[in-house]
A and B are shown apart, each in its own frame.
Chain A
C-alpha cells in the first residue's frame, strides 16, 4: 500500500501569511493527489484535485503543485476562515489513503 507522509502535523501562522504543507508518497504516484480542508465538526471539502487543479468555487489563494513523490499545498494571504485541518489524499491505486493531516491555527 502507498503511504502519504504529511508535514507539519500542526502550524501556526498570521493573517496574511503564506502557508505551505507538504506530502510525500512512498512511491511514484504521478499527479494523483487531492487536497481537502476539514473545519472543526464538519465534513472534509475538496479543494485541489490532480495535484494542482482548483476545485470550482474555491478561492484562488489556495494552490497545489508537485508530481511523482513530492507534493505541496499552499495558502497565500491566509484568512481567519482558513482555520482547519488539511489532508492530502492519493488515488494512484486502491486502497487510496490520506496523509495524517495538518492542523492550521492563527497566531
Chain B
C-alpha cells in the first residue's frame, strides 16, 4: 500500500513537501516514481529514484525545482517542491516501479492534491 500526504494550497513561488508511506512490500528493494495529473488532464511522469537513491531522474518541467528522496528505514518517499508555479497544480501520485527506470508502475497511491494559486 502507498499513501501520499502533504498536498495543500500554496502560493506561486512557494514550497511544499510531499510524502509517500509504503507498506506491504519490501520498500528498499524497489525504485519509486512520482507521477502527476493536472485537473481533467492526462498523466505526466515527474521523477524517479532508484532503490538505493543512487540514481535520480527528473522531467524537464520540474528539474532544478523539485527534489526526490527516500528513507528506506522509514519506508518513505518524498518530493520537495520549490518555486511552485500554477502549472504544477495536480494530483501527485507515488508509484512503485517494477522495472529499471520509470518502466512499470505496478502499484500507485491514492494521490495528494497540490494547488498553486494566489
Contact = CB atoms under 8 A, between A and B. Distances in A.
Chain A contact surface mostly = loop
A98 B59 CA distance: 13
Given A91-B99, A94-B57, A95-B59, A46 B42 contact: no
Interface string A83-95: 0000101010011
Contacts of A38: 43
B112 to A, nearest CB: 11
Interface residues of B, number: 20
28 contacts: A34-B104, A36-B43, A38-B43, A42-B110, A43-B93, A43-B108, A43-B109, A44-B108, A45-B108, A46-B105, A49-B104, A89-B105, A91-B102, A91-B103, A91-B104, A94-B57, A94-B102, A95-B45, A95-B57, A95-B59, A95-B102, A96-B102, A96-B103, A98-B42, A98-B45, A99-B42, A101-B42, A101-B43
B16 interface: no
B10 interface: no
Contacts of B108: 43-45
Interface in B37-96: 42-45, 48, 57, 59-60, 93
Interface of A: 32, 34, 36, 38, 42-46, 49, 55, 87, 89, 91, 94-101
Contacts of A44: 43, 93, 105, 108
Contacts of A32: 103
